[in-house]
Structure 1
Amino acid sequence: MTTATSPHAPTQRPDDLPAAIRETKAQLRAQLGGPAGVKAAFREVEAFVEERVKEIEEYNARGESIWPEINYDDIAAGNISEEFKEKVRRYGVLVVRNHFPREQALEFDRELVDYVDVNDFDAQYRGPGDDFFGTLAASRPEIFPIYWSRPQMQARQSERTAKVQAFLNHRWKFESEGVKWFDPDQDSMYPDRIRRRPPGTNSSGLGAHTDSGAVERWLLPAYQKVFQDVFSGNFANYDPWDAAHRTEVNEYEGGSTMCSAFRTFQGWTALSDQQRDQGVLATVPIPEAMAYILLRALQDDVAEDDLCGAAPSRVLAVNEQWHPLLMRGLTNIPDLQAGDSVWWHADIVHAVDPIEDQQGWGNVMYIPAAPMCDKNKAYSKQVAEHFLNGTSPDDFPAEDYEVDWQDRFTTADLNEIGRRGLGLD
């Protein structure tokens, strides 16, 4: 068993992107056996997704949540049935109840308010630093470009978070093709921002999309290896939980926001109680839906130099024009208490519901599962430098608000989990 290695720098995008798309589409169509093979492959995936969407619609019609839920104490005790594990793999989403005790999460929230206030963030704020969601119909969520507060770092290096991340990482096939693609029991620390949305907010939400690669999913050789069963008409063999080659992919350079790490799950932890009808996260809980997105772009009603609107340095948008079947499957998270965390497989389509006159706060801190591998280890070294300097991580705009801030988390505050996650041990 060997350990996976990969390049880490962003990949240079083609000088002539439309030509590259035309060439790649011709190549992929040939692999699928020409026009008839392309249509047959898509019909197979479409039928699979249709059945899953019907299942989601049945849950929604009953007013039930399809999201698997588990209490943190059961994860910590290993009290997890095989049936529950399979449910997580089927839907690709999970709610962890009491990830942090409710009062601790509310205290995190209070500390974040103090951190922002004592450093007079409102007077310094210069507005959004990126246009990553620029292709989506959305009003920008209330994202604060803050990374190094005590609550965020304490949550990232918490033993409770480490146990949840390990549980999630173990849902993946992390050894295949004679390679160990990542260490499921050791996460790298991937710093992200916070969201604070006050009561009374009106927001058009955030359109359906996936992250971590847009046109790259068709054009780059490493992604073609990840989806080789999809692109060769062997959908029955496609396993969205096989990590093979996923740690080898990179995104095209040039964007102000991207993801330089491999994440098994994206996630956030609630810092306030949140009702499922108050502008919350919605997903299409079908991990295999990426196969539908990829093959949809190869159909003959899509222009030869187009991939259903996908563009470099943007999220991969999902919409009614090209993906009406997937849009039927959007379903909201259940009601949450402060301290609960929500997680979704890296390929899962997700969105944020619109809201008028939001009732209560909508506050979260973004913490994913990003297991240690060669790719993530390299990014962790960069993260550690930014942590020491109080600057913004490389995957986000260089806004650097926290350089001179009071009460920033320091190296003296790191525990063993934090030091390992930053690659300092």
Structure 2
Amino acid sequence: MSLSIADVPNAVREVKVELHKKSKVLEQTYTEMTASIQAEVDEIKALKAQGKSIIPELDYQAVLHNQVSEEQKALIRKRGCVVIRNTFPRAQAEQWSERIGEYLISNGYYDTPDKGLDKYFSSLQAGKPQIFSVYWSKPQMEARQSENLAQARRFLNRLWTYQSDEVGTVFDPDRECLYADRTRRREPGDNSLGLKPHIDGGSVERWLDRNGFWKVYRHLLEGNWQAYDPFDAAYRTETEEIPSPAVCSMFRTYQGWTALTPQGPSDGTLQLVPIARAMGWMYLRALQPDVPEEDLCSAIAGRALLCSPQWHGLLLDALTSIPLMQPGDSIWWHPDVIHAVEDEHKGQGYSNVIYIGAAPYCEKNVKYLAKQAQAFQKGESAPDFAPEHYELNYHDRATAADLTELGKKQMGLMAW
């Protein structure tokens, strides 16, 4: 489903009037939730000062053998993110890194002029990122369809509330729909990839979509911020997005990537604001009287949702670099979690990853698979991304013959 709005500023003005009529307690709700978020920010700052870990970490074997405690699960839901160590063997991840590099070089990717079609991060970065618009290399497909990843995603999906009396079953946590994304290969010394803190998965539509997003944030609009649970899946598969390259039209339970090289703080890698409820606070922030009536704290249609110093400084105090990652480790974050990329890679080696998130089986995601399967078979860019189509004539590109039975099911090429 997609949302089409001709005059966004006017639509924002109208929806603010409507929401304030709908809820007379938005200012009070915001004030109360601010105090709660401030306490969480202070907790994170105190842990940092003590040199303690902020982002939860698990070992893949603990996930595989159901040895994750309820306390650990609760912390993941609170922080909205988790590192899973040894998701893949180190040697396998390192081999994937080498093979992707060979795939790019042998097919002349570096010699192809940049088509400049992807504007999604245009308001967040100063230069062109070292993210490569290839989707169908064999290493990418091998990683996506692996049983290791399937087990990890089943565990992660089950941290959500995916069934309720209110809406029934929202998604199947044990079946996955593969979402093809790109790969990052960041050179030491690179200072072009830095991305300001932001959230994907929708910007202005979070306030303008009356049928989907309003229901996602229903508790906030009713003045009951304590009941807001970012891991409640109710209505999240019914949201409508404004189409734009790199705006995800699938429902993802997590964004994520798998490390192909060692990388950590100062290596030009990921930073997170590890507060799962932060988007709920940002939602209320945009509806306060000091924000211009046609504005939603600088949100731009079809772009990433910026977490700005002007409007969201409270949250930025909790911005945290991820811990040192080794090849084969994976990191996962809730789609509403604020994330950024360090401005400069100050390390010694490449900072390489394959972007792989989690998109469980549901009607919304199955519809996307049909379009994605066509792109896969033709070698075109994945449907959510700019139609750059670098891989049309690439040799050694993955085909259906390279898919396992699980991979074919996850790609929608075989029935579950």
Task: Find the counterpart in structure 2 of residue 32 from structure 1.
Answer: 23
CA distance in 1, matches of 2:321, 2:183: 20
Q: Quick one: distance in 1 between partners of 2:213 and 2:253?
A: 15
Of 351, 355, 360, the residue aligned with 1:362 is 351
Distance 1:134 1:198 in 2: 21
Q: Name which of 218, 233, 247 aligns with 1:228.
A: 218
Q: Contact 2:264 / 2:321 at 8 angstroms: preserved in 1?
A: no
| Aligned match for 2:94, one of 106, 119, 127 | 106
Q: Specify whether residues 348 and 124 from structure 1 end up closer, same or farther in structure 2 by C-alpha distance, changes over 3 A only.
A: same
Displacement of 1:125 in angstroms is: 3.7
Which of 84, 91, 104 aligns to 1:96? It is 84
Offset of 1:28 from its aligned partner? 1.2
Partner of residue 267 from structure 1, selected from 256, 273, 291: 256
For residues 81-121 of structure 1, the C-alpha deviation after alignment (integer angstroms, 9 at most, x for no partner) is 11111111111100010111111100000000111111111
Aligned to 1:339: 328
- Say if 2:29 and 2:223, in contact at 8 Å, map to a contact too: yes
Question: d(CA) in 2 for partners of 1:243 and 1:398?
Answer: 31
* Conserved? CA contact 2:129–2:193, under 8 Å: no
Check 1:361–1:153 CA distance in 2 against 1; reply closer, same or farther (3 A cut).
Answer: same
Cα deviation code 1:284-313 (max 9, x no counterpart): 111111111111111111100000111110
The residue that corresponds to 1:296 in the other structure is 285
Q: 1:41 aligns to what SS in structure 2? A: helix
Q: Name the structure 2 match of 1:56.
A: 44
How far apart are the structure 2 equivalents of 1:412 and 1:291?
Answer: 44
Alpha-carbon displacement from aligned partner over 1:259-291 (angstroms, at most 9, x marks no partner): 110000000000100122222211111111111
SS at match of 2:311: coil
Paired residue for 1:421? 410
Q: Distance in 2 between matches of 1:160 and 1:128?
A: 35
The amino acid that maps onto 1:246 is R
| Larger displacement relative to structure 2 (276-285 or 296-305) | 276-285
Could you tell me how far 1:204 is from its partner in structure 2? Answer: 6.2
5 Å-filtered alignment, 1:266-415, equals 266-355=255-344, 357-415=346-404
Contact 1:208 1:319 in 2 (8 A): yes
Structure-2 change in CA distance of 1:30 and 1:113 (3 Å)? same
Classify the secondary structure of the residue corresponding to 1:96.
Answer: strand
Letter in 1 for 2:16: K
Which range moves more in the overlay, 323-332 or 116-125? 116-125
Shift of 1:356: 5.4
C-alpha separation in 1, matches of 2:268 and 2:143: 24
Select the residue among 122, 144, 150 that pairs with 2:138: 150
- Secondary structure at 2:256 match in 1: strand
**Given the alignment, which residue of 89, 101, 109 partners 1:121?**
109
Structure 2 partner of 1:12: 4
Aligned-residue offset at 1:403: 1.1
Aligned equivalents of 1:100 and 1:224: distance in 2? Answer: 39
Shift of 1:418: 0.7
**Matches of 2:175 and 2:245 in 1, distance apart?**
28
Task: Please give the alpha-carbon distance, in whole angstroms, between the structure 1 residues aligned to 2:270 and 2:342.
Answer: 6
Question: 2 CA distance for matches of 1:139 and 1:12?
Answer: 29
**How far is 1:137 from its partner?**
4.3
Gaps of at least 5 residues in structure 1 are 1-7
Partner residue of 1:248 out of 227, 231, 238: 238
Tell me the amino acid that sits aligned with residue 22 of structure 1: R
1:4 alignment counterpart: none
- Using the TM superposition, name which of 271-280 and 342-351 deviates more: 271-280
Q: Secondary structure at the match of 2:220?
A: coil
User: 1:256: how far off?
Assistant: 2.4
1:138-193 deviations in whole A, cap 9, x for unaligned? 43320100000010000000000101111110000001214110000011010000
- Which stretches in structure 2 are left out of the alignment for 5+ residues? none
The alignment's C-alpha RMSD in Å is 1.2
Amino acid of the structure 1 residue aligned with 2:234? A
Distance 2:56 2:112 in 1: 41
Contact 1:202/1:358 (8 A) holds in 2: no
- Deviation, 1:258, is 1.2
**Contact kept in structure 2, 1:262 and 1:370, CA below 8 Å:** yes
Shift of 1:29: 1.5
Instruction: Say if 1:99 and 1:161, in contact at 8 Å, map to a contact too.
Output: yes
Q: For 2:51 and 2:205, how far apart are their aligned partners in 1?
A: 37
1:203 CA drift (Å):
3.8
For 1:140, give the aligned amino acid. Answer: K
Q: Which amino acid aligns with 1:240?
A: P
**Structure 1 segments (4+ residues) deviating >4 Å:** none
In the alignment, the residues of structure 2 paired with residue 293 and residue 125 of structure 1 have an alpha-carbon distance, to the nearest angstrom, of 38
* Cα offset, 1:414, TM superposition: 0.7
1:161 counterpart residue number: 149
Q: In 2, are the aligned partners of 1:65 and 1:333 still within 8 Å (CA)?
A: no
Give the counterpart letter for 1:393 in structure 2.
Answer: A
Number of aligned positions between the proteins: 412
Superposed CA offset, 1:344-394 (max 9, x none): 001101111122543221101100000010000000111111111110111
State whether structure 2 residue 72 is matched by structure 1 residue 72.
no
Alpha carbons 2:271, 2:342 under 8 Å: kept: yes
